[in-house]
């Protein structure tokens, strides 16, 4: 049989397209992706909090999302958790609170994955549990327990355990705790930066132990980014627009404490915990110093905003707020420093590259094959 060139070319493109990662890592399939965290991965849970002011429900948010509507994601399109689920061929994990009154959707999502994340959430409860501004990690875990029950009813206890052990839990949290320390004088007066960052990691450890008691998922845990280099923080450093190095120092200290805590927890659990840590701090530093290498043109200003660095106002439908002309070229979507969909895709390439210096102790393909 004669195979003509266009067919081969077409197949070649398909194959090339289906290989994610810088070094072409091939990923084993996983049954579900469950997401915990803050606004970096919120898929719309906060839309259901009547008292929360932290909601991305206004355009231009969502301008590149299917149907071009704001969904609660602080992004022009898909966020990092969406991109991960998509790369594994799974549906985008819907917000947990959107499922409460939808029995069939809840049963389906219990199996393929749910997002528990909430904008503004922290490892500490802060005052969110009482003010209803956000769903802190402790409460996100309660929501997971309820999905876990649903999963057990549906699959039976032993199948559910197997399902969880093969699933990926993506946890992106900690930024709000670090920023709280930066903002609140009373916290600074009580503890020095090392002590406080250690106390966040200690609290996180308690939460992770709870997760472990419900099953042994594969954990993908993000550190915190260069929080001193968001468009907002740079804009505040008038005239020179450099990063706020003190905030970066807090973020680094937290990441150091987190990395040690994870190693210790794995030892305490006699290696029955499977995890990998993604170093978003050093990876975004690398992207910021070489945006072109990652196909970006701008890794300092916000795509959506107003004024200097487009960081003098949040991304809201206000006069004067503008959206950058090429949204695929910006790392940051808004002044808070949430990445664009393009930014999240660049980050995913660094998460999934087999030789990534930013993922340890396991590469993503090792984590999902473990």
Min separation Cβ 209 and ligand NAG, Å:
23
> Scanning the structure block, which residue is given the tokens 């975004």?
284
Interface contacts to ligand NAG, rule CB under 6 A: 237, 240, 242-245, 279, 282
Q: Which is nearer to ligand NAG, 103 or 260 (CB)?
A: 260
Helix (H, G, I), strand (E, B) or coil at 309: helix
For residue 268, the tally of other CB atoms under 10 A from its CB is 13
Q: How far is the CB of 295 from ligand NAG (least distance, A)?
A: 22
| Main-chain dihedrals φ then ψ at residue 233, nearest 5 degrees | -70, -35
- In angstroms, what is the minimal distance from the CB of 8 to ligand NAG? 42
Provide, rounded to whole angstroms, the least separation between the CB of residue 256 and ligand NAG.
8
Q: Which of 58, 126, 140 is nearest to 95 (CA)?
A: 140
Could you confirm whether 334 is annotated as catalytic?
A: yes
Cβ burial 141-160 (10 Å sphere, 16+ → b, else e): bebbeebbebbbeebeeeeb
Is 143 an active-site residue? Answer: no
Place of tokens 């959206």: 323
Task: Identify whether 68 is a catalytic site residue.
Answer: no
Give the active site residue among 138, 334, 344, 356. Answer: 334
Looking at the Cβ atoms of 165 and 237, the one nearer to ligand NAG is 237
Determine which one of 128, 279, 338, 363 is catalytic: 338
DSSP secondary structure, 92-105, as one string: PPPBGGGSTT-HHH
Q: Which of residues 121 and 251 has its CB atom nearest to ligand NAG in the complex?
A: 251
Q: Which is nearer to ligand NAG, 115 or 182 (CB)?
A: 182
For ligand NAG, give the closer residue by CB, 113 or 223: 223
Query: Which residue is closest to ligand NAG by CB?
Result: 242
Nearest to 225 by CA among 200, 201, 247, 257: 247
* 368, two tokens: 């999902």
Q: Residue 275 Cβ, how far from ligand NAG at the closest point, in Å? A: 15
Query: Catalytic positions, please?
Result: 39, 334, 338
């Amino acid at each position: 049989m004669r195979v003509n060139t266009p067919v081969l070319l077409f197949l070649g493109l398909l194959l090339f397209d289906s290989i994610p990662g810088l070094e072409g890592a091939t990923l084993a399939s996983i049954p579900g992706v469950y997401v915990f965290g803050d606004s970096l991965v919120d898929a719309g849970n906060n839309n259901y909090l009547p008292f929360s002011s932290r909601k991305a429900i206004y355009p231009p948010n969502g301008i590149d999302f299917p149907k071009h509507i704001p969904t609660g994601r602080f992004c022009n399109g898909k966020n990092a958790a969406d991109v991960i689920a998509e790369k594994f061929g799974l549906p985008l994990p819907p917000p947990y609170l959107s499922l409460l009154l939808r029995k069939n959707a809840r049963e389906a999502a219990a199996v393929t994955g749910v997002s528990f994340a909430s904008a503004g959430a922290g490892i500490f409860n802060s005052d969110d549990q009482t003010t209803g501004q956000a769903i802190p990690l402790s409460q996100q875990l309660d929501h997971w327990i309820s999905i876990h029950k649903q999963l057990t009813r549906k699959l039976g206890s032993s199948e559910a355990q197997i399902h969880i052990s093969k699933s990926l839990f993506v946890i992106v949290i900690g930024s709000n705790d670090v920023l709280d320390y930066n903002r609140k004088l009373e916290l600074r007066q009580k503890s020095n930066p090392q002590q406080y960052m250690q106390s966040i990691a200690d609290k996180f450890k308690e939460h992770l132990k709870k997760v472990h008691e419900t099953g042994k998922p594969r954990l993908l845990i993000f550190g915190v980014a260069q929080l001193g280099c968001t468009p907002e923080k740079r804009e505040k450093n008038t005239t020179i627009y450099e990063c706020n190095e003190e905030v970066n120092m807090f973020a680094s200290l937290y990441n150091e404490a987190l990395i040690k805590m994870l190693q210790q927890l794995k030892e305490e659990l006699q290696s029955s915990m499977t995890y990998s840590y993604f170093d978003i701090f050093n990876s975004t530093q690398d992207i910021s110093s070489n945006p072109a290498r990652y196909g970006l043109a701008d890794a300092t200003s916000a795509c959506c905003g107003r004024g200097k660095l487009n960081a003098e106002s949040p991304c809201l439908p206000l006069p004067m707020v503008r959206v950058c002309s090429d949204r695929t070229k910006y790392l940051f979507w808004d002044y808070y420093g949430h990445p664009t969909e393009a930014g999240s895709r660049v980050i995913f390439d660094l998460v999934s590259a087999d030789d990534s210096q930013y993922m340890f102790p396991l590469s993503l393909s090792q984590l999902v094959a473990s």
